[in-house]
Homo-oligomer: A and B are copies of this chain.
């Protein structure tokens, strides 16, 4: 994710640095591929940067902010996939207070136009990067809003994936899955079938990561209501991971996954 953004900024002539201490092999490879400059430490990175974009695994969001935060003079943007309360905790570590809550709303592989939303008093400073090929929309002046929009969208999209699986897995056993998809498409719109089958395949392929993400969403929602549906979505993804386990390749036909699921 970060390396794709780095490539966009580099192509616009921005000097991009990263620190690879303690990062995964995949992150190291992607950083080398994108050709960014490497800093030996996060402290040094903070010293020479005008803007820090933090994009790490959710569990490291607060730690990274602690390391950068003490003497950093620039703008700190949290791009991590974490809940509003974790964002607030992370941004609280940045002593100059120049912080932005941001969330990537699409796939980075689509290129320069990947939509990012941002909130907080300094979000418009971050949105200056739109002149350098980025696609940032300021959605509010409070930290937490951008992350919340992303999480609440995923309540819906991940829940829908689970509903589709539940409906079509029974339909598959009765050999009427084509019919159910057809009649759903009549109310849900012409792209429904393609989106639906891709969602079923992704549910299983990314099951492990989805389960973790929904766990984070569940904690967040519990502050506002009794999240009956999201609890079920979480249980569903956990069941999928337990029953099917990691799969190496996304199958062409969603029915292959149903077969696999029914065999366990």
| Set B155, B174, B191, B236: member contacting A148, Cβ < 8 A | B174
CA distance A155 to B189 in the complex (A): 17
CA distance A118 to B150 in the complex (A): 42
Closest CB in chain B relative to A247 CB, distance in Å: 19
- Once the chains bind, are A166 and B236 in contact (CB under 8 Å)? no
A230 — nearest CB in chain B belongs to which residue?
A: B166
Which B residues touch A227, using CB under 8 A? 166
**CB under 8 Å from chain B, chain A span 151-190:** 152-153, 155-157, 159-160, 162-164, 166-171, 173-174, 176, 179-180, 183-184, 186-187, 189
Closest CB in chain B relative to A36 CB, distance in Å: 29
Known A-B contacts A189-B189, A229-B232, A231-B232; the reply to A164 vs B171 at CB < 8 A is: no
A105 — nearest CB in chain B belongs to which residue?
A: B183
A132 interface hit (Cβ, 8 Å): no
Q: How many residues of A contact B (CB 8 A)?
A: 50
- Once the chains bind, are B191 and A189 in contact (CB under 8 Å)? yes
- Once the chains bind, are B105 and A153 in contact (CB under 8 Å)? no
CA distance A250 to B91 in the complex (A): 43
Closest CB in chain B relative to A126 CB, distance in Å: 17
20 contacts between A and B (CB under 8 A): A105-B183, A115-B186, A139-B176, A140-B179, A148-B176, A149-B171, A149-B176, A149-B180, A153-B180, A156-B167, A156-B184, A157-B184, A159-B163, A159-B166, A159-B167, A163-B163, A166-B225, A173-B224, A228-B236, A229-B232
